[in-house]
Homo-oligomer: A and B are copies of this chain.
């Protein structure tokens, strides 16, 4: 009889380009995959995969096993989830994806705290350029900053986040002062080009004023937030970035906010819940911990205090 392990194993193979690739995914040597697959085929008396050069081809039976097997594994995982949700303790594997900067500074410590509080759970934190574009099936939680196409996704907000315009003190000293958004057109603006969005259009709003839209002329553009921040720190221009990413620099005086009365469109910190395990107990607990760590917002609290 086929076991769930067999089905899991076969599922990994079908998701791979080759047996060698599957071996890498499974962290075993190639012969292990060949042997085990052969053993399964021998046991059920049917060839499942035609191995040819350049890629694997499932036989009809292989397709059957892949489809039915996936459904069976899915049923087991759902059962696991239902049990896990009834469990009093937090356990299981939690896989989190987050953007580089925010992930390192804010998610990492919370993961540590989570692991300390719940020793029976295991956590994986993967930092990535654009986590929101990752296949949601591989992750329980994907943390993301900014607007997002939420169609078909389950999203929860972790913390408010404003975007602000900044420049280094040296830049401000050496360039004309900025009173109105329109003044930016005379300045060296640095654009963060992500997801093919139109980043040369900066919007500002201010209480009791009409919104202002400025078409900037980016002197430099990058798709990496850290690079852009370094440019700003080096006094190369004005950037618009989220508070969370700049908090440290502003507190330390390395960057200075400009147009402090004007606000950019918000880019809240949100978490995308994976369809499968995103609503498990461990995920819920982690999100609570994450919210608690982001609230109160550190620098605002500091400003309010004293």
Interface residues of chain A, those whose CB is within 8 Å of chain B, are 1-5, 7, 44-46, 60-61, 64-65, 68-69, 71-72, 75-80, 82-84, 86-89, 91, 120
A76 contacts which chain B residues (CB < 8 A)? 1-2, 4, 7, 72
Beyond the given pairs A2-B4, A46-B83, A72-B79, 19 more chain A to chain B contacts, judged by CB atoms under 8 angstroms and listed by A's residue number, are A1-B80, A2-B79, A2-B83, A3-B4, A44-B80, A45-B83, A45-B84, A45-B89, A46-B87, A60-B86, A64-B79, A64-B83, A65-B79, A68-B75, A68-B78, A69-B79, A72-B72, A72-B75, A75-B75
* Bound Cα distance A68, B78 (Å): 10
Which residues of chain B have C-beta atoms less than 8 A from A88's C-beta? Answer: 45
Cβ-neighbour of A87 out of B2, B45, B64, B91 (below 8 A): B45
Dominant secondary structure at the A interface: helix
Partner of A68, one of B5, B7, B45, B79: B79
A77 and B46 in contact, given A61-B86, A82-B64 (Cβ under 8 angstroms): no
**Most chain B beta-carbon neighbours within 10 Å: one of A7, A69, A83, A86:** A83
A91-B4 in contact given A64-B82, A72-B75, A72-B79 (Cβ < 8 Å)? no
A-B contact pairs, 19 of them (CB 8 A): A2-B79, A2-B80, A2-B83, A3-B3, A3-B4, A4-B4, A45-B89, A45-B91, A46-B87, A64-B79, A64-B82, A64-B83, A65-B79, A68-B75, A68-B78, A68-B82, A71-B75, A72-B75, A72-B76
The answer for the CA separation of A89 and B65 in the assembled complex, in Å, is: 18
Query: Do the beta carbons of B5 and A44 come within 8 Å of each other?
Result: no
Query: What CA separation (Å) do A64 and B82 show in the bound complex?
Result: 9
Measured in the bound complex, the distance between the Cα atoms of B84 and A83 in whole Å is 33
